Structure 1
Amino acid sequence: MPEIRAEIRLPTQELRDDLPFYTKVLGLRLDMIYPADNPEVAVLSGHGLRIRIEKGAAEAPGTIRILTDDPGAFPARNLTAPNGTKVEIEDLNPPLVLPATEHAFVVRRLADQAPWVIGRAGMHYRDLVPSRLGGAIIASHIRIPDGGPVPDMVHFHRVGFQLIFCVKGWVDVVYEDQGPKIRLTAGDCFIQPPEIRHRVLEASDGIEVIEIGVPAEHVTEIDHDMTLPTPHHRPDREWQGQRFVHNVGAQSPFKPFRIPGFEARDTTINANTKGVASVMVARPSGAAAPATRHDTDILFTYVMSGEMTLKGEGKAPYRLTMGDAFVIPPGMTTQYSDATSDLQLLEVTLPGVFRTTLL
């Protein structure tokens, strides 16, 4: 392959004023300068950047962002070079910020025809909680209309919690330290611990999944160096205290749910995240369900099949069907009623351990 170099050009009025700032303050290396008798162009490099400072260049001074694990090594977080270029010093790995939840009662109906948006790797996204509860959570209904290989790369997410639950079709994914590719089928789920490397390989026609991410806005990074699958299978490995989970729905027994009149199967996510979140699949068990209220921070539910009526304190009843979703804030009295026998609910709560009061 031919050797290729890329440069960012910045203007200057007097090169001799800029060189001390870029070399001594920013720590860049001077690679080239000319003409010798009256320099008008200098090329500097460092921190993964190559800059060409040129006297009389027509461009605006621009902004340089330097990411470092030691911001204190620079004289200030915001600097201005003699040529007018702004310099922002940022943390290389800033701490994950979890916004305070803005609690609200939310009902999102599939029949309301919320728009599908084409997102990463050509996937279609439908937002199930438009307010995102103030940035605390994103809940997406994702589909891939045409199956086959997925144009994905090895990547990871800077998150506090992330769930992938398959509601239709199948998808093949490969994960760091989890062996060869794993097929996720309808009724199964993955928990993707923070920063676990993974890659989506192939999907069936019309696959649909529910993806939950905390916080709502989080960074996805591409890992150009890792090849998957990795040579080691380490099922007990933890990422920030969480283990990878592949829960197979058909192998999970139903037991009494937190709400009488329902039974549920546990995906083991509460145990494997050490209480960060709980994910349950609930269905009616025959008896009428009482009114209840809960004290967890976020309680999100997606209707996977069947129908039911959701009654909320001070709200008109909602008749919910497959594809609908709702959020019940803590302390609000609600009741599930008139459920069809084929009703199945996906319930995600954060944190995973909380109290339900029967009324």
Structure 2
Amino acid sequence: MSDRKKLFPAEPEIKMSTPCADLERDIAKLTGEKEFRIFSIFPADNPRIAILIRDDFVLRLEQADSEPESKVFFAGQTTELGTRLKDKAEDHKPIGERFEVIGLEESGWQKGRAGMLYRDLVQDRAGGRLIASHVKVSEAGETPDYVHFHDIDFQIIYCIAGTCRLVYEDQGDVLEFRAGDCVLQPPGIRHRVLDCSEGFEVLELASPAEHITYADHELQLPNSHIDVERKYRDQKFHFHRARASESESPAEIQISDLGFATPSAERVSAERFTLPATPESTIRRLPDPAIFVYLTDGEVDAAYGDNSAARIKTGSALFCSGEQELTLQATEDPASGILFQLAL
């Protein structure tokens, strides 16, 4: 049996398909009083399609611009959503040469899965190859989440502010996720967000940009089985806990590898950096093929090759790709952030 068949369910046969003007409202109604269960959501940051199941009845909902006058029926068809997404992935545009800076509040927020708010940090999502999202919760307390998993090539989450409690399949007890922590969620790992503090925010990077999120209504987390070495496809779960020393003000450049290259099968590497404002304290990296930077403190002058330059401030992000060198130098003492090398 292939890894995909072990991790992901077969697409069910649709009994009815219908457009709806308010997908969130209709999902809540159907999973509440009508006792349907979510099978899958697509995509997580701005859901357009939901597959719901009750007994052997499979319902497909799709976001529409207005309230439909009638429902559309299909018989004997599978959702084919996974197949169509795989075909679409083959048509992703080349990334090419890019140097993009996104400010703290420059792009709009939209409501996504489980009541979370999302904003994009990379223009056109790198041709469909990457979604880089700034995510925050609208309300503190218990999160309206359920055990779920994603059909992805990779997904990495960095905690910007606040705390939350999560549970992961085969990884033991509840995990407290705090500012500065970072986690690699391999494809297919079941997980759930339990609750969040006020002001909880994360940075989320995932490829491809649009992917299916599936629900798992059978598995209860945390589960009793522990297998921290388990591989999901060719990746392993990896959690990096921020150390107190990483937030101190150094007299010289500090760079720490967060250890994601091997667990992600070389898809992602991550470095936390702190730069004093001295000429010799400069980070130099070649995109391989892409780099994403998020600045947590201070200001940095970023340059890509000889022709592109920008000043990055706290809470801003940078994305670049191509064959020229990226340099980062602090303008204030110190400047800190996290740099991801991405194999897209």
Q: Unaligned 5+ residue runs, structure 2?
A: 1-13, 18-54, 60-69
* Equivalent pair of 2:136/2:200 in contact (CA under 8 Å): yes
- Over 3 Å counting, the alpha-carbon distance change for 1:238 and 1:100 in structure 2 is farther
Tell me how far apart the structure 1 counterparts of residues 228 and 88 of structure 2 sit (CA, whole Å): 25
Q: Does residue 1:110 correspond to 2:104, yes or no?
A: yes
- SS at structure 1 position matched to 2:265: coil
Larger radius of gyration: 1
Q: Does residue 1:66 correspond to 2:82, yes or no?
A: no
Q: Which amino acid aligns with 1:341?
A: D
* Structure 1 residue 342: Cα displacement: 3.0
Tell me how far apart the structure 1 counterparts of residues 219 and 338 of structure 2 sit (CA, whole Å): 33
- Over 3 Å counting, the alpha-carbon distance change for 1:314 and 1:94 in structure 2 is closer
* Equivalent pair of 2:155/2:205 in contact (CA under 8 Å): yes
Alignment partner, residue 260 of structure 2: 269
Q: Does residue 1:330 correspond to 2:322, yes or no?
A: yes
* Structure 1 residue 120: Cα displacement: 1.0
- SS at structure 2 position matched to 1:142: strand
Equivalence map 1:242-253=2 (5 Å)? 242-250=235-243
Alignment partner, residue 302 of structure 2: 310
Alignment partner, residue 197 of structure 1: 190
Equivalence map 1:28-177=2 (5 Å)? 48-49=56-57, 62-64=73-75, 66-67=77-78, 97=89, 99=92, 101-103=94-96, 104-111=98-105, 113-177=106-170
Alignment: residue pair count: 278
Alignment partner, residue 340 of structure 2: 348
Equivalence map 1:206-225=2 (5 Å)? 206-225=199-218
The percent of aligned pairs where both chains have the same amino acid is: 30
Alignment partner, residue 15 of structure 1: none
Give per-residue Cα distances to partners, 1:35-55, cap 9 Å, x unaligned. Answer: xxxxxxxxxxxx94589xxxx
Tell me how far apart the structure 2 counterparts of residues 89 and 208 of structure 1 sit (CA, whole Å): 30
* Equivalent pair of 1:164/1:189 in contact (CA under 8 Å): yes
Tell me how far apart the structure 2 counterparts of residues 318 and 93 of structure 1 sit (CA, whole Å): 35
Length-normalised TM-score, structure 2:
0.71
Q: Which amino acid aligns with 2:322?
A: P
* Structure 1 residue 313: Cα displacement: 3.6
* Equivalent pair of 2:283/2:329 in contact (CA under 8 Å): no
- SS at structure 2 position matched to 1:239: coil
Tell me how far apart the structure 2 counterparts of residues 124 and 60 of structure 1 sit (CA, whole Å): 30
* Structure 1 residue 215: Cα displacement: 0.7
* Structure 1 residue 246: Cα displacement: 1.3
RMSD between aligned residues? 3.4
* Structure 1 residue 304: Cα displacement: 1.2
* Structure 1 residue 97: Cα displacement: 3.9
Tell me how far apart the structure 1 counterparts of residues 296 and 260 of structure 2 sit (CA, whole Å): 19
* Structure 1 residue 223: Cα displacement: 0.9
* Structure 1 residue 335: Cα displacement: 2.7
Alignment partner, residue 271 of structure 2: 280
Length-normalised TM-score, structure 1:
0.68
- Over 3 Å counting, the alpha-carbon distance change for 1:89 and 1:240 in structure 2 is closer
Q: Paired residue for 1:234, among 192, 203, 227?
A: 227
* Structure 1 residue 102: Cα displacement: 1.5
Give per-residue Cα distances to partners, 1:84-139, cap 9 Å, x unaligned. Answer: xxxx898599689464541322111115x321111111111111113211011000
